[in-house]
Chains A and B, each alone.
Chain A
């Protein structure tokens, strides 16, 4: 998808870690939700919990927390997009499914599935135009990384991050709107 994060020499290591992270994020999300029904999940909380669980593990020994956050952001993107796709299929199928939420109160839908899926596709396009900017959006939106962390991760100045972010955001906005 994008470049290899530092500390990884082969794709297998990365894939293994990615699989573990994806799994863990899902588990943490479900578990946090079960424990505290009203819990507000933020990417930061999720990623942090996943890091705590996976850190010290063999798979993670090669990576730093910051790099892990980037991988987690990527895993989170996958989790959310998979989720959106599934929702969308079930919605479009008409009265083919039923949402078994913990409470029957309708949940406010703040983000449409379509918008997320379009964002995912646009991000892929952006990655071809400039991988660094795509990584930036991924880390920030899906992983909750601070601008300063992104600067450190990508070894660029914070001013550059802000500048790149602004252009990427504007381009993605019009791209998502157009699709």
Chain B
């Protein structure tokens, strides 16, 4: 319908709507004359006028369903398996019964729907699953296959076990205490086998311990729980996920987010044993909030199983109490030191021998603790002395030094990896790293490693942890991008250098050809979501330099990869200078382009034949940067560096003055590697080689 006709339709619609219903038909006939379609159109509108429908609902109902979308998966994703029916669902995932199309055998497929794998982690995930697949034990359900859906949701193909949970089995069969202990021992043996292969279960609980009709035990979900914590999720996110898990069987150290080891499995199996002996879990967490449950598990002592259980004859409760409570000691050091120790004690009990847990329960633990902890005890005594000395020294020095801030975190931004095959996007490798470095450099309490150094550690030649160590960084920003069709998928990863764990991951898509969108979004992500994870909440400036012209920005980005070439190849330098000059001509307000241009002019002055002209141009560029971005300490440091090189009549300054200038800069931005570098250079020129501290900050 044309706009003009629509005007006419509306006019008639409003006029007719004001009339009584009986008069409308006649009015429309007269008003429309021969134009029957017009009349019909208005009539249809009148029929629908005031009727409640979709548009009256504010989109509320629909919005509520958005998040489910991510959980929709196509059956085809599980090829060569065909899903048959849902076997069960827990907080963490759904388990399906499935069939292998070609072979017809039945398997169980588990889909973890709260976990999520970034593309960067998917390979590592598959490698880990291969290790798990090698576990071959009669009591461990086999893991056949593992992969992830296109959206990163991990899924596993496991042996299908037709059985019931160990607790259900025991209460159904009214199993004797000995039978229950034998089942727990069978589980313990399977877990011991896994421990010997370096695999920790992490999520032992009755629903993962199935007993089949013939009374044999099968353990499910080995190592799968691992994918809930170190998945690159932030702490708060991990908490959310823990809420989905059953904290009842989680060990105190697991809840506290500390390291997980074989003793974690000892604890969880101990809780299962407690439940099998006493008829209920050591703590009643049903009505508690997660925080309360965590407190209970980490603080409260459980009652002896004998005090909870209905009395059974022919049972040596003191032995069982000691055995069970030893397995669920809060302090891992006081637990059975291994699965095999637990197995040994179960054997003692079954063979009517005294259990070790009880023998050790008097003086032994104290002695053992002293033995084991002697080193730490003596260290503790020594460290009290050290602390006192430190306090004294701090008091002494705090008068001299102005508030000495805690050492800033150092971060290195590595070149991005082009994970696709479109090499026309290769320039983004440095461009994205540059954008993130530039953004973070304005953050307070963070030290960003110089991009000129970081760019040497391009993946995949060097792994992020090694690169981080060589650059002296605490955290490494590593990323990859891939063009698929018109979209560019960007993955950002923060990797903790000490642990080599990803502490934050983000994946997003942007229109591949829209540099401005890429620039805006990467800047936004860096400031708003990445920086807080790095502990940066304050920035020196609220608004960072923004490119305003796409072509200009592209020229700038394409010029970035070249600084290494310039000193050698004058032709390349000339070409790059041309690109940058064009860039600042198109967009004179984007200071980073001016900045890079000023460096090139400097190079031209020193190494080329630019002469005085290059110097003059350089001064213009530098002035431009300072005008647009007065907080740019890099350029101010470089100015001092240059000035220090020249005689006073050539616009230079004495080294002493340059040093005062650089000290001033250091006070303003104690975290800037470049300022430290210039400071070190000035000190070196002045003959204070040993005084420079830059090597620590700027390798």
Q: Contact between B75 and A58 (Cβ–Cβ < 8 Å)? A: no
Interface string of A118-138 (1 = CB under 8 A from B): 010000010011100000010
Selected from B48, B61, B516, B520, the residue in CB contact (under 8 A) with A177 is B48
Within 8 A of A (CB), among B30-68: 44-51, 53-55, 57-68
Q: Max chain A CB contacts within 10 Å: which of B13, B59, B521, B527? A: B59
- How far, in Å, is B556 (CB) from chain A's closest CB? 15
Stretch of B252-260, B337-345, B539-547, B569-577 at the chain-chain interface:
B539-547
For residue B73, which residues in chain A have a CB less than 8 angstroms away from its CB? 97-98, 100
For residue A129, which residues in chain B have a CB less than 8 angstroms away from its CB? 1-3, 6
CA A56 to CA B70, docked complex, whole Å: 29
A17 touches B (CB below 8 Å): yes
Q: Contact between A23 and B240 (Cβ–Cβ < 8 Å)? A: no
Name the residue on B nearest A137 (C-beta).
Answer: B55
Selected from B45, B86, B511, the residue in CB contact (under 8 A) with A171 is B45
Q: Specify the main secondary structure of chain A where it touches its partner.
A: helix
Q: Contact between A54 and B524 (Cβ–Cβ < 8 Å)? A: yes
Q: Contact between A56 and B13 (Cβ–Cβ < 8 Å)? A: no
For residue B351, which residues in chain A have a CB less than 8 angstroms away from its CB? none
CA A99 to CA B70, docked complex, whole Å: 9
Q: Contact between A174 and B75 (Cβ–Cβ < 8 Å)? A: no
- How far, in Å, is B129 (CB) from chain A's closest CB? 20
For residue A26, which residues in chain B have a CB less than 8 angstroms away from its CB? 66
Interface size on A, residues (CB 8 A): 74
Selected from A32, A107, A130, A170, the residue in CB contact (under 8 A) with B65 is A107
A16 touches B (CB below 8 Å): yes
Selected from A100, A144, A178, the residue in CB contact (under 8 A) with B72 is A100
Q: Contact between A34 and B517 (Cβ–Cβ < 8 Å)? A: no
Within 8 A of A (CB), among B57-92: 57-76, 83, 86, 89
For residue B13, which residues in chain A have a CB less than 8 angstroms away from its CB? 167, 170
CA A176 to CA B55, docked complex, whole Å: 11
CA A100 to CA B113, docked complex, whole Å: 8
A42 touches B (CB below 8 Å): yes
Interface string of B568-593 (1 = CB under 8 A from A): 00000000000000000000000000
B114 touches A (CB below 8 Å): yes
B316 touches A (CB below 8 Å): no
Interface size on B, residues (CB 8 A): 68
For residue A173, which residues in chain B have a CB less than 8 angstroms away from its CB? 45, 48, 51, 53, 55
For residue B65, which residues in chain A have a CB less than 8 angstroms away from its CB? 83, 107
CA A39 to CA B550, docked complex, whole Å: 41
Q: Contact between B62 and A34 (Cβ–Cβ < 8 Å)? A: no
Q: Contact between B521 and A19 (Cβ–Cβ < 8 Å)? A: yes
CA A54 to CA B522, docked complex, whole Å: 13
Selected from A59, A130, A144, A174, the residue in CB contact (under 8 A) with B45 is A174
Selected from B74, B514, B523, the residue in CB contact (under 8 A) with A58 is B523
Q: Contact between A40 and B64 (Cβ–Cβ < 8 Å)? A: yes
Within 8 A of A (CB), among B94-133: 94, 96, 111, 113-114
Q: Contact between B114 and A34 (Cβ–Cβ < 8 Å)? A: yes
Name the residue on A nearest B53 (C-beta).
Answer: A173
Q: Contact between B521 and A99 (Cβ–Cβ < 8 Å)? A: no
Name the residue on B nearest A54 (C-beta).
Answer: B524
Answer whether A97 and B66 are a contact pair too, CB < 8 Å, given A17-B520, A58-B544, A169-B55: no
CA A178 to CA B550, docked complex, whole Å: 44
Q: Contact between A57 and B113 (Cβ–Cβ < 8 Å)? A: no
Give A contacts to B, CB under 8 Å.
12-13, 15-17, 19-20, 23, 26, 29-30, 32-35, 40-44, 46, 53-54, 56-59, 61, 76, 79-80, 83-84, 86-87, 90, 93, 95-104, 107, 110-111, 115-116, 119, 125, 128-130, 137, 140-142, 144, 163, 166-167, 169-174, 176-178
A-B contact pairs, 24 of them (CB 8 A): A12-B517, A12-B550, A16-B514, A20-B524, A40-B60, A54-B524, A58-B520, A59-B521, A59-B524, A76-B63, A83-B69, A84-B62, A90-B74, A97-B74, A98-B83, A107-B68, A111-B61, A111-B62, A141-B55, A170-B49, A171-B9, A173-B48, A176-B54, A177-B48
Given contacts A58-B546, A87-B69, A170-B46, 18 further A-B contacts (CB under 8 A): A20-B517, A20-B524, A29-B67, A33-B66, A87-B72, A96-B74, A96-B75, A98-B72, A99-B71, A102-B71, A102-B113, A103-B89, A116-B54, A128-B3, A129-B1, A141-B58, A170-B45, A174-B47
4 tightest CB-CB pairs across the interface, nearest first?
Answer: A33-B67, A173-B48, A16-B517, A16-B520
